[in-house]
Amino acid sequence: MNVDAEAGMNSAAPAVEAASGAPPSAAAGPAAADDTNSRALVRDLSFYYGAHKALKHLNMPIADKRVTALIGPSGCGKSTLLRCFNRMHDLQPGARYEGSIVLHPENIDLVGREVDPIDVRMRIGMVFQKPNPFPTSIADNVTYGLRLRGMKSRVQLAGAVEQALRGAALWDEVKDRLHSSALALSGGQMQRLCIARALATNPEMILFDEPTSALDPIATAKIEELITALREQVTVLIVTHNMQQAARISDFTAFMFLGELVEYASTAKLFTNPSQKGTEDYITGRYG
Ligand code: ADP
């Protein structure tokens, strides 16, 4: 990033309604999610790696059964925010959360100390940048979480495998080799298997951390199509460094810079008529 751009961003950042404590729906414009149709609400969330404050007082809704994209230049805190949702930071020494992420409708604070991170991860699935299937069979990958929960019936497990693989648009390609190694799949198939594994436990939300950055364009298109279809059944939060991807597949977009939320809006508004100069500079490629 060049210095002028960074200086420009800094001066633009304080003018953000969503980051200054106004109700997210007010900051986000008419098409935005509000408290009544959000699956989660990020409330004055800050996060520290030791002394380093990587997230600064973020406020935004996560719309239910919609795709929300997190965009912004490298190092702005997108992955850090994503990882708060399933408590991925908990094992890191010095990691500290402030504020809350309230999961609706029960109003559980996902980053609350009293909330068990294992329970959180059962409800909020995650798909990583690099496909990471277990070195077991395709079927065993899918049933892992269900077996962990105590499901033993072979019939039930087989049904769940088919349902999750269908949900991840992989069933037709693998139905004849469910007991072969997952590691023999192509990169794109492996990523869809990881999505099936996440879907199998029927999560309320799935987090995607740059899920297509290691894939070729055809595999990328399949994953994008799949994510678009997934919102029929699950709430999606996705980090992407690819703005075209955010524009193609998301309903809402949050633009972050230096650990702050600069702007949250419907994707159509954010990409055509952003209210912050910093957002405009970023989406028009003036820096980053
Ligand atoms: P992005 O996903 O937008 O590229 P990150 O969330 O990875 O950004 O990083 C946000 C900030 O937190 C950066 O300054 C980065 O250096 C810092 N950071 C990320 N991970 C760690 C970590 N494990 N320990 C300490 N600092 C980290």
Q: What is the mean pLDDT of residues 104-124?
A: 93
Residue 221 sits in a domain whose CATH number is 3.40.50.300
Nearest ligand 1 atom to the CA of 256 is 3
192 in any annotated domain: yes
Is the pLDDT score of 244 beyond 60?
yes
151 in any annotated domain: yes
Mean pLDDT over all residues of the chain? 88
- CB distance 192 to ligand 1 below 6 Å: no
Please report which confidence band the pLDDT of residue 287 belongs to, taking 50, 70 and 90 as the band edges.
low
Please report which confidence band the pLDDT of residue 35 belongs to, taking 50, 70 and 90 as the band edges.
low
The pLDDT value given to residue 8: 36
Cα of 272 vs centre of ligand 1, distance in Å, is 29
- CB distance 79 to ligand 1 below 6 Å: yes
Cα of 238 vs centre of ligand 1, distance in Å, is 16
Cα of 55 vs centre of ligand 1, distance in Å, is 9
Nearest ligand 1 atom to the CA of 239 is 2
Cα of 194 vs centre of ligand 1, distance in Å, is 24
165 in any annotated domain: yes
The pLDDT value given to residue 122: 86
The pLDDT value given to residue 26: 34
Q: What is the mean pLDDT of residues 30-49?
A: 80
Cα of 53 vs centre of ligand 1, distance in Å, is 10
288 in any annotated domain: no
pLDDT digits (tens, 9 = 90+) for 124-152: 999 999 999 999 999 999 999 999 889 99
DSSP assignment of 92-137: STTEEEEEEEEETTTTEETT-TTS-HHHHHHHEEEE-SS----SSB
121 in any annotated domain: yes
Quote the domain boundaries for residue 15: 3-283
Among 15-24, 57-66, 195-204, 278-287, which stretch is predicted with the lowest mean pLDDT? 15-24
- CB distance 77 to ligand 1 below 6 Å: yes
The CB-based long-range contact list for 47-51 (8 Å cut-off, 24+ gap) reads 47/77, 47/80, 47/81, 47/84, 47/89, 47/95, 47/96, 47/97, 47/98, 48/94, 48/95, 48/96, 48/98, 49/80, 49/92, 49/94, 49/95, 50/93, 50/94, 51/94
The pLDDT value given to residue 24: 38
Q: Which residue has the higher pLDDT, 176 or 37?
A: 176
Cα of 259 vs centre of ligand 1, distance in Å, is 9
- Minimum CA distance residue for ligand 1 atom 19: 80
Is the pLDDT score of 36 beyond 90?
no
- CB distance 54 to ligand 1 below 6 Å: yes
Is the pLDDT score of 19 beyond 50?
no
Cα of 54 vs centre of ligand 1, distance in Å, is 7
Is the pLDDT score of 13 beyond 60?
no
- Whether the model clears a pTM of 0.85, i.e. scores above it, the answer is yes
Q: What is the mean pLDDT of residues 208-223?
A: 94
Is the pLDDT score of 195 beyond 50?
yes
The pLDDT value given to residue 276: 96
> Which of 49, 83, 85 has most ligand 1 atoms within 8 Å of its beta carbon, as the pocket-test mutant?
49
The pLDDT value given to residue 102: 97
Is the pLDDT score of 17 beyond 50?
no
The total domain count for the chain is 1
- CB distance 29 to ligand 1 below 6 Å: no
